[in-house]
Structure 1
């Protein structure tokens, strides 16, 4: 008999936890857009530390491109800007060049 109230109390506690704390949410789930403002001006290439693209999903209906700069700021790039598209194309070509297997020609 003591087990039943304890079990109900535990179920109530688990159900009342908010997904904000990360207990009940899916990993890598985005519930909102990360970019509230998009910059039109492209930062210098040597000042970019890391760049990442986020495809449209359930939480944000648009493509987002975030660039982390060496001065520890984050910039949202415009995905429709030709300079940004050119940068992404260069990054894609560099990744493909790295992934190509090296074949040695022995005779």
Structure 2
């Protein structure tokens, strides 16, 4: 009777571990380590915001420097949220200016 309990317990532990490993293996997130602060804006070449997807269930922000170095930012950090919000506003202004500049008014 004792061997059956031990066998059942070990089988349960193995199944739990296998399910947990399968879940971690399916997560293909880009970011493993994250930073809380940005580099100097003059050094930044590109900022990519990667939304949650089937391969990664969290929002990721990847910063590429002009030197080629890439690192990830913490999307929950206040300073990161401020920078992302200012970039969104800047893009809106740029888009509005472009659409406004293509409109031509011909005087009659």
Interval containing the TM-score (normalised by the shorter chain): 0.5 to 0.7
Do structure 1's residue 36 and structure 2's residue 36 form an aligned pair? Answer: no
Contact 2:34–2:73 (Cα < 8 Å) also in 1: yes
TM-score, length-normalised on structure 2?
A: 0.64
- CA-atom RMSD, angstroms? 1.8
* C-alpha distance in structure 2 between counterparts of 1:104 and 1:82, whole Å: 41
Partner of 1:83: 79
- Gaps of at least 5 residues in structure 1 are 1-30
The Cα of 1:89 is off from its aligned counterpart by: 0.9
Q: Deviations over 1:74-93 (max 9, x none)?
A: 01001001111111111111
* Uncovered stretches (5+) of structure 2, i.e. residues with no partner: 1-26
Q: How many residues align?
A: 78
Moved over 3 A (4+): 103-107
| Larger helix fraction of residues | 2
Cα deviation digits, residues 26-80 of structure 1 (max 9, x gap): xxxxx60000000122211111100011111111111000000011100100100
